[in-house]
Homo-oligomer: A and B are copies of this chain.
Amino acid sequence: MSFSYDGSKYNGYQKQPDAKTIQDEIEKVLKKINSNNDVSLVASGRTDAGVHAYSQHAHFDLVNELDCAKLRNSMNSLLPKDIYVKAIAIVDDDFHARFNVKAKEYIYKINMGNYNPIEKDYIYQYNKRLDIPEMSRALKYLEGTHDFRAFVKIDEEKNDYVRTIVNTNLIRDSKNVNLITISILGTGFMRYMVRNIVGTLIEIGEGKYKSEDIIKIMEQKDRKNAGACAPACGLYLKDVYY
């Protein structure tokens, strides 16, 4: 199943006690459709509170085989209006929405212009000028296979921080020159990795560091040397590739 959601009113994708989450809303609907049997939704990965998805993917099993188009329509009629099932297809029994991910694309939106209350939950209201060419150059240094420890919280039990960023882009909107969109396509991402990368790019755009400094920051493998975590509202899971 591929689905999109507005994350602004949820406590993230992943189910947790006493909090409104995307997973919970979808599982509640699937349980109704599945003759009141519990359904576990396995997504490509979580998204944090306030983060949006244009195309998240998940798999699940139902008691009875149902027509995919009808299932999609039933789900959309029962789901809240800020979650939407885009497509459903039957997959092989061994398909796994998380383990089979080949790549994911995230985008991050920043408004350098005046504060806009209408887009506050959807575009990071940075509201100051940034050095776009310098940020673009820095972003390009991240492409390839690197140890991304500098951009994540260290987890004592984990020791593999190497990921591959396949492609990146920083685009300035042709009509609204104050809107910049950063896109990052990679084979794997860790929690807060994109937001920490964006936070670092912003400090480069402010002139605090030069574009090449991002290489040093990566090599130092110390979260403290990278920039602050950029706000959740600007982040979108754009697509998941299998």
- What is A's interface to B at a CB cutoff of 8 Å? 4-6, 52, 54, 76, 81-84, 86, 114-118, 120, 122, 174-175, 236
Contacts and interface: CB of A to CB of B under 8 A. Distances in A.
A184 B118 CA distance: 20
Contacts of A174: 174-175
A122 B174 CA distance: 21
Those 6 A-B pairs whose CB atoms lie nearest each other, nearest first:
A84-B117, A6-B118, A82-B117, A6-B117, A52-B118, A84-B115
14 contacts: A4-B117, A4-B118, A5-B117, A6-B117, A6-B118, A6-B120, A54-B118, A81-B117, A82-B118, A84-B115, A84-B116, A84-B117, A118-B236, A174-B175
A76 B118 CA distance: 15
Nearest to A76: B115
Contacts of A83: 117
Nearest to A118: B6
